[in-house]
Amino acid sequence: MKIVVIGGTGLIGSKLVKKLGEHGHEAVAASPNTGVNTLTGEGLAEVLKGAHVVVDVSNSPSFERTAVLKFFETSTGNLLAAEADAGVGHHVAVSIVGTERMPENGYFAAKIAQEQLIEKSGIPFSLVHSTQFFEFARGIADDATVDGKVHMAPVLFQPIAGEDVAEAVGRAAMGSPLNGRVEIAGPERFRMDEFFQKALTAWGDPREVVVDPHARYFGSELSEHSLVPIGDASLGTIHYLDWLGDAATGK
C-alpha cells in the first residue's frame, strides 16, 4: 500500500516512514526537501499518484497566530484538494489533545481550523490527538523561564515519546478510517511542576521550578485537564527517564 507522509522528513514523519516501510508498505516522505510543498501545491499531484493513504504530520514554521492559521488552512486545503483529485481513500492527521479546551491559543485555534477542513472534505479520515512530545520538554521549560526560574502550573501533564506517536499514527494509517479521533498519551501522568522538577534534575539543570497557578503555556493559562486526555486514550510504552537515558547514550 502506498502511504504518502507529508512532513515525512521531520521528527515524527521520519520515524513513521521507517515504521511503515518495516511493515512492507511503500512509504513516501513528502516535504519541501523532497520537492513537495503543500503551501504552493508544488509536487502534490505527482507524489499522490497511486496513493491509498496520506498522513499529514507537517507543522508551521511560525507559531504567530495569523501565520500559523494561514499555514494550516492553506496547506490542508491544497492537500485535501489534491487528494480528492487523486482518489486517496484515507487522510490521517496528527493534532493535539485539548485543542477545543484552549481556543484562545493561536496554535490550538489553527489546529481546530485544520480539523474542520478535514472533517468537511468528504475524504474518509482519522485524527490522532497527541499530548506533548518528550522531545519538546526542554523548549517548554525555556519558554516558561522568568528571571532564571521555571514557572509551571500544578496541572496534569502526560507527555509521550515521539517513537510512540509514530507507532500510533502508523496504526491509524494502516487501519480503516475512523471518521473521528483517537487520543494518545504517555504511560505516566504527572503534575506539570513535578515533571519538570524531575526533568531538570535529570538534565543537570540548576534552574528552580516555581509552582505558579497562573503560569502560561505558550501564552495560555491552564486548567487541571487542559493538556491530558479525558476518557479513553491509547497509552505509549516509553517512560520519560528511560527515553532520556537512551537519548543520552545515542540509542
How many alpha carbons fall within 13 Å on the CB side of residue 56? 28
- The three cell numbers of residue 131 are 499530548
Structural domain count of the chain = 1
CA neighbor of 96 nearest in space, from 181, 215, 16 = 181
Domain harbouring 24, CATH code = 3.40.50.720
Structural domain that includes position 151: 2-249
Query: What is the C-alpha to C-alpha distance for residues 160 and 84, in angstroms, rounded to an integer?
Result: 33
CA neighbor of 26 nearest in space, from 44, 56, 53 = 53
Contact yes or no for 229/183 (Cβ under 8 A): yes
**For the whole model, what pTM was predicted?**
0.94
Q: What are phi and psi of 3, to 5 degrees?
A: -125, 120
- The three cell numbers of residue 121 are 472534505
Query: What is the C-alpha to C-alpha distance for residues 222 and 217, in angstroms, rounded to an integer?
Result: 7
Q: Return per-residue pLDDT of the chain as tens, 251 residues.
A: 999 999 999 999 999 999 999 999 999 999 999 999 999 999 999 999 999 999 999 999 988 999 999 999 999 999 999 999 999 999 999 999 999 998 889 999 999 999 999 999 999 999 999 999 999 999 999 999 999 999 999 999 999 999 999 999 999 999 999 999 999 999 999 999 999 999 999 999 999 999 999 999 988 899 999 999 998 999 999 999 999 987 765 65
Contact yes or no for 109/115 (Cβ under 8 A): no
At position 250, the amino acid (one-letter code) is: G
Tell me the sheet residues that pair with 216: 221
Contact yes or no for 152/226 (Cβ under 8 A): no
